[in-house]
Structure 1
Amino acid sequence: MILYRYLTGADDAAFCHRITAALNKGWFLYGPPSLTYDAEQKRVVCGQAITKDVPDREYDPGLDLSTF
């Protein structure tokens, strides 16, 4: 099965660490990151799609994708 997640957060070191942790758990970047500006909070928000191939597993909508 191939898993898909879209991580978002403030464009800061914590967000970069979340992406780095996911990459080190076997996830791969899927496409370029996206950026937008949150005028209310006066900060840049980043988003990055990631995917992971998990062989020998069947997809179930109840899966907690953050545990893979």
Structure 2
Amino acid sequence: MSTAPPDGLPRYRLLTGKDDAAFCQRVSEALAQGYALYGSPAATFNGEHVVVAQAILWPGQG
């Protein structure tokens, strides 16, 4: 595994969006790149739909 995230991405990222298949795909793609989940997901309701957030962290370099 590389010591740095690909494509100049930051070590820490917070993915947010509507709770749907597209959001799940974004998280899955980040995991496939080598990121790890960081903490628990968060969810809220904005009056129209559920909005979720998941922090991810590039491993190592601690």
Partner in structure 1 of residue 33 of structure 2: 25
1:50 is paired with a residue whose SS is strand
Root-mean-square deviation (CA, aligned residues, Å) is 1.9
Q: Deviations over 1:37-57 (max 9, x none)?
A: 011xx10000000000366xx
Partner in structure 1 of residue 14 of structure 2: 6
8 Å CA contact 1:28, 1:52 repeated in 2:
yes
Q: Which runs of 5+ in 2 are unaligned?
A: 5-9
Q: Which runs of 4+ in 1 moved over 2 A?
A: none
TM-score by length of 2: 0.78
2:51 aligned with 1:45: yes
2:45 is paired with a residue whose SS is strand
TM-score by length of 1: 0.71
Distance 2:60 2:21 in 1: 28
1:14 is paired with a residue whose SS is helix
AA aligned opposite 1:5: R
